[in-house]
């Protein structure tokens, strides 16, 4: 799938939205994980169908980690 078809625009003007702790999986889903830089460990949160779900769970995990 081309960039234009996936994001609905020209490559030079439209960029995918990036969220902290969320990445796009190869299957079209969004993976979310917390990272602890002091111990260099990762805490897997899960895989979600929308970026909003993944971001919400990441934010919830950040709040509960504090």
Of residues 64 and 56, more confidently modeled: 56
Which residues have C-beta within 8 Å of that of residue 62, sequence separation ≥ 6? 21, 34
Of residues 48 and 18, more confidently modeled: 48
In this structure, whether the domain defined by 3-65 belongs to CATH 3.30.730.10 is answered with yes
Query: Which sequence spans correspond to the domains of the chain?
Result: 3-65
Identify the pLDDT of residue 61: 84
Identify the pLDDT of residue 63: 81
**pTM of the entire predicted model:** 0.66
Q: Which of 9, 45, 15 is nearest to 30 (CA)?
A: 45
DSSP conformational letter for 23: E
Q: How far is CA 20 from the centre of its chain?
A: 7
């Amino acid at each position: 799938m081309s960039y234009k078809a996936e994001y609905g625009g020209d490559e030079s003007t439209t960029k995918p939205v990036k969220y902290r702790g969320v990445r796009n999986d190869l299957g079209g889903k969004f993976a979310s994980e917390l990272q602890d830089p002091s111990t260099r460990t990762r805490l897997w949160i899960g895989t979600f169908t929308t970026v909003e779900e993944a971001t919400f769970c990441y934010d919830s995990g950040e709040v509960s980690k504090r």
